[in-house]
Amino acid sequence: MTRSEEESLYLSLLSQLQSPEPALVRAALVSIKHQVIGHDQTKEVFVRLGIVDALVSILNSELSTRDKVWQDVKVEAGIVVGSLAYGGESLILHLLRSAALSPLTASLNPDRASPKLVQSSLRTLNTMLDTYISPSAPLNPAVAISAALYTPECLQNLCEILSQERADRQEQISLAASLIAKSCGRVPHISGGEAEETAMQREGMHQKLLVGAGVLDVLATRLAAFAPDEYRRNCSEDTKLPAPAPPNARIAPILDAIAAIIRGSKLRSLEFLFSPTLAALFPTDDSKASSDASLHLPQSSDMLQRPQNITTPSAFPPLSSAVSFTLDDDERLRSGLTSETDPALEIPELEIISWLVALIRSGDPITRLSAASTLTNLFLVGLVSKRLVSYVALLVVPILVHLLDGEGKIVGYGNTGVGGIDSQTWNRWQVEERAPAVLARLVIENLEFQKAAMDAGAVKKLAAILKKVSEPSSSAANEANGHTTVDQSTQRSGPEYHHRMKVKEGVLRCLANLGLFKDDYRKKIIDAGVLKTVVGSCMKPLTPISVPQLAETNSSSNGECNPPSVLIAACGVIRSVSRSVSILRTSLIDAAVAIPIFTLLRHENDDVKIAATAAVCNLVLDFSPMRKPITEAGALDVLCDLIKGSNGPLKLNAMWAIKHLMMEADITTKRRSLEKLGVEYFMSIISTVTPLEEDEDEDEEMPDEPAMQHEERLPPRIRSAVKHLQKQERVSQAARSRKEATALQEQGLEFVRNLICGAEVDNMIDHVFECIGADRLLSLYEKLLTTPNQPSEIVSAVVYGIVHIAAGAPRHRQRIIERTELLRVLLGFWNHHNANVRSGLAWVVINLTWKEEGSEAEGVQSRINVLKGLGWAERLRDMQKDPALDVKERVKTAEFQLGNGSVSSAGSSTAGSSR
């Protein structure tokens, strides 16, 4: 049949769709279905001829909805729409532009639509979410679908679908749960200014809607249906439990949906753990031990190594979430920017945790990963008991490392693939993508889990995977051999490319998290050859970045282009390994990471710039060999421009980096940095932050919020914690904004500290006083110290700023001694809880009473008299019994100088500069 004959046939079939006779319409749709399934070119022809509008019209039709024939017509139309969705990005975008989304979501009502239509619509929506859509696409299907799904009507429909227990409805339940897992949290990405604040307000919006609609409780009930009989036998006869799950039911999609809802929230995690069905099936009994029999766990937890305190070199202090390479919920959750008012909740050993561990040990790969993802979410919010944490390291982490190889029989969510990929390949891809991602989240900031992963050989496996997925794809290789010609943009929009990028991202994040704390682990990462792959294949953006100073470097750049998610993860690896001084001075130089990282500071995506500046913070330290090339490339101008932007985390990272850049910098660079920032703008950063009150919003009237359903089922102490978390969640957005602003203020104050430290310190202090004003700066210090509930970080920064000024020339010391109120306020911190602050007070005395050889004896004695008159001598005597050894040693020196007015001449001390 010729092409013209085929098109004539297709047009004839399309004309039948306008018939008022449902039998003719159904016959035409069946014929079209057979024509398009598995034939992408035929799909494109039908779309060009206008089939989508006809299908949308049929699905929207309200005529004769109770007529079985018309119901069959809608089912066939839905199947054809689903087949078109399998055609890839261009056809999905056409469906969205043609308003096909509205009838698809409307077809999820099980009371009005036939079961086949509900299932077909669910499958189509899942396909749209599974298909890779290029970042440059005019529409984002995930965002569009989420906007249509998270309405009261659709959520009620999903709740009804999930509540079904019939065996022939299990496919619907699995698809509905998968739809929730894939769509939850998919909101438009916006950043900067008011847009960023709006995004913060929407954080967790979908999850809250799902909880409010009762979806989480229904999912918990569905999960309970899979519980082993041993748990059911322990329940009383009047306990209402769901029927056991039929053989065709799948637990993995249920776990995925639950994991998506509870992620990053202790409140939602508690609501899940104590949902009515799970509370009945796994009762909380503090006197009852966990069900070790089902896990085959050793009875003595002393056999396992306990977690150790995390320590990091002082040159590389732990970075807050704003300077981390990823801004996901986990790092926010475990960073300094989370609320300090989390209730102390000692969670009892819950048997559901033991069951999750058992699922991870015995299920198929996808079920194992789904259970591990749920368990990881519970662990990250502190809801796994201390005893079971060691069991997780012993039993769960090695299994996740084993899954990195993709071994084992893989059971998928269905018999069809996505976007031309067969089902077996698609399901294997899911394991390859998810295994490193789940492991990365589990080991973050936990030394015991990191050790377990390292002992299981994770680095060697991850390095091999990274090298494999960074090699050119088969199409690219053929093109290089001259076999075919493929447009690069086409390669970057294919499912294989998307799969490799997701694997690459997960592997990079896992490597970064494994190397966060221990030098031995970083060395293993370097020895595995990871850096060469990261720099050569993971740091080239999709869109070339023009850097005038690096024109030659840009033109010679090779390697595959990467989406923002991979660039962010690659920056995380550089940031992680650069915490080692030896690696910073050797391997990173050999890998030539400086210029690729610097180039990413100009990326169009703010999250990429946030990750790049986090890495640059370590690369521009004074002992880093990469400081010079990064500085010569124009880092100072770029960082100052970023500080003046509107993105909060990016401003903080840039300020942190420029603070490091000022360490031991020449006086010309220091002066230029202050000039580039602008004195008034810089002063606005360090002057306008209001600290968080201890009982903030305690009496403020809050908008009504639904209480946790079935709250009476909670144990009393957990009920109290839930109420506290509900209140905290209402104020957390404003609190986070204030904490980010406070962190920025701290780095700004530390920036001043580094400006007035090092070579030509006297001239630099004079320059700062001239630009800012001595009285203005010292008045600001006094104001910050007198502000109630001031965070210790701000107090420390102010104290050491004064220490550095006092380490200048006699005229600078005189400026401070004249401010008796400032000295009186300083004295009030002699018993501050932070030892660094107490040590700083001793340094103030040491520097103010310093006597240079053969000079200003009268000035020194005058300053001593002022300090004694304010009571400093008495306070120093009180500090002799300080528990911190460093404080006691500094106090000895301060007392000696305050009493004698002299000490062996060695030059005044600055107590170190700020890193």
- Report the pLDDT averaged over residues 887-912: 68
Q: For the residues of 144-181, what is the DSSP string, one character each?
A: HHHHHHSSHHHHHHHHHHHH---GGGHHHHHHHHHHHH
Q: 3-state DSSP call for residue 651?
A: helix
CA distance 632 to 650: 22
- How much is the pLDDT for 197? 44
pLDDT at 853 over 90: no
Per-residue model confidence as pLDDT tens digits over 201-229: 466 889 999 999 999 999 999 999 999 88
Per the domain annotation, does 561 fall within a domain? no
Distance CA 292, CA 349 (A): 11
Average pLDDT, integer, range 105-119? 92
Residue 240 belongs to domain spanning:
3-187+200-244
Residue 162 falls inside a structural domain: yes
Instruction: Quickly state the pLDDT bin for 690 (edges 50, 70, 90).
Output: low
pLDDT at position 558 is: 61
The answer, yes or no, to whether residue 648 has pLDDT greater than 70, is yes
> What is the rounded distance in angstroms from the CA atom of residue 122 to the CA atom of residue 108?
7
Mean per-residue pLDDT for 732-754? 86
pLDDT in tens, 77-87: 999 999 999 88
C-alpha dist (Å) from residue 645 to 170, 620, 651, 745, 821: 51, 21, 7, 15, 36
**Residue 462 clears pLDDT 90, i.e. is over it:** yes
pLDDT of residue 279: 86
* Mean per-residue pLDDT, 154-180: 94
Q: Assess contact for 159 and 215: CB atoms under 8 A.
A: yes
Distance between CA atoms of residues 869 and 467, nearest Å: 69
84 falls within a domain: yes
Give me the half-sphere count of Cα atoms (radius 13 Å) on the Cβ side of residue 214. Answer: 17
Answer yes or no: are the C-beta atoms of 842 and 876 closer than 8 Å.
Answer: yes
pLDDT at residue 1 above 70? no
Whole-prediction pTM value?
Answer: 0.86
* Domain finish residue from 228, 244, 260: 244
Collapsing DSSP states into helix, strand and coil, what is residue 540? strand
The pLDDT of residue 715? 63
- Please count the other Cβ atoms lying within 10 Å of the Cβ belonging to residue 811: 14
Quote the pLDDT of residue 905.
36
Within-domain flag for 778:
yes
Band of the pLDDT at 465, cuts 50, 70, 90? very high
From 209, 224, 244, the end of a domain falls on 244
- Amino acid 70: pLDDT: 82
CB 837 within 8 A of CB 827: no
Place of tokens 């008012």: 341
641 domain residue, yes or no = no
* Residue 375 resides in a domain: no
| Mean of all residue pLDDT scores within the chain | 82
Residue length of the chain: 915
Q: 561-562 and 540-541 as β-strands: parallel, antiparallel, unpaired?
A: parallel
Burial of 460 (0-12, 13-18, 19+ CB in 10 A): middle
Share of the chain above pLDDT 90, in %: 54
Whole-number pLDDT of residue 493: 58
831 within domain boundaries: yes
DSSP conformational letter for 535: H
Confidence bin at 618 (pLDDT 50/70/90):
very high
Q: How many CB atoms lie within 10 A of CB 9?
A: 13
Q: Are 474 and 468 in contact (CB under 8 A)?
A: no
Comparing CA positions, the residue from 632, 786, 650, 746 lying closest to residue 754 is: 746
For residues 861 and 854, give the distance between their C-alpha atoms in angstroms, rounded to a whole number: 14
The DSSP 8-state label assigned to residue 562 in this structure reads E
pLDDT at res. 66: 60
* Amino acid 306: pLDDT: 30
**Total number of domains in the chain:** 2
The pLDDT value given to residue 912: 56
pLDDT digits (tens, 9 = 90+) for 575-607: 999 998 889 889 988 889 999 999 999 999 999
Give me the phi and psi of 540, to 5 degrees please: -95, 120
Amino acid identity of residue 340, one-letter, is E
At 780, which CATH number? 1.25.10.10
Residue 74 lies in a domain: yes
What integer pLDDT is reported at residue 298 of this predicted model?
Answer: 35
> Would you say residue 868 has pLDDT above 90?
yes
- Taking the C-alpha atoms of 607, 613, 619 and 620 in order, what is their torsion angle to the nearest 10 degrees? 170
Whole-number Å distance between alpha carbons of 887 and 880:
8
- Cα distance between residue 170 and residue 206, in whole Å: 24
Query: CA 273 from chain center: how many Å?
Result: 24
Of 211, 244, 277, the last residue of a domain is: 244
